Amino acid sequence: MTARFLDWIWHIKGSMALASGQSADEAMARLGPLFRQAGTSHERIGDTLTFSKKDQAAQDRMSIFDGGVLRIEREPAGPVLRYCLTSRALLFCFLAPLLFLSFAGLTIVAGKLAKPAAQETVEKDDKKDKVLPQHWIDKALGAPAPEKPKKDDKNKEDGKTPKPTAAYVFAGLFAALYVVGRILEGRLVKSLFRKSLLS
């Protein structure tokens, strides 16, 4: 039940009606060239075509998909092509934001743990009225004694805690990639099947 509920993350499903008078054999013959690509293996049993891809070339128009099933079903209105395609790339783009958000959370926790230690060292330094050393040549020339660094400067130096901004940026980028890819690839593959069936 859980696996079926999560299937939509990396599965693209759809359907389309075949052209009037087009048989299942004719439809499968027209779709065939899409699966005769380097790195693609396919098997047809009746009205069902199963394919899988390994080390697919970038030129392959279905390179984003790693496998899937195409089935032609007979319905009262006419035969319909139904397909279910899987993509590890979509799964990666879905999981990547979660990974980067966990990095951001760890960065925030690390920053909070580092702050008390930094404050303690600043307080200790404030308690000690250190006399900064001056070189004997500077003394002989009458140069003024070196000034203690200002408190604000010290806080800036000590307060250099890691920030989670980069992790948030990458999480946003991958989330956008997933949303765009999920919508765009679904439309592109449907258009590709339609063109193949009508060609």
Whole-angstrom distance, CA of residue 185 vs CA of residue 192: 10
Cα–Cα distances (Å) from 196 to 51, 81, 192, in that order, read: 17, 12, 6
Domains and CATH numbers, the chain: 2-87 (3.30.160)
Whole-angstrom distance, CA of residue 129 vs CA of residue 74: 90
pLDDT, tens digit (0-9, with 9 covering 90-100), for 9-30: 999 999 999 988 888 999 999 9
According to the model, what pLDDT value does residue 62 have?
93
Per residue of the chain (199 residues), what is the pLDDT tens digit? 456 678 889 999 999 999 888 889 999 999 999 999 999 999 999 999 999 999 888 889 999 999 999 999 998 888 999 999 999 999 999 999 999 999 999 999 888 887 765 556 555 555 555 666 777 777 777 777 777 666 555 555 555 677 889 999 999 999 999 999 999 999 999 999 999 998 7
According to the model, what pLDDT value does residue 76 have?
87
pTM tops 0.95, yes or no: no
Whole-angstrom distance, CA of residue 63 vs CA of residue 140: 77
DSSP secondary structure code for residue 57 in this structure: -
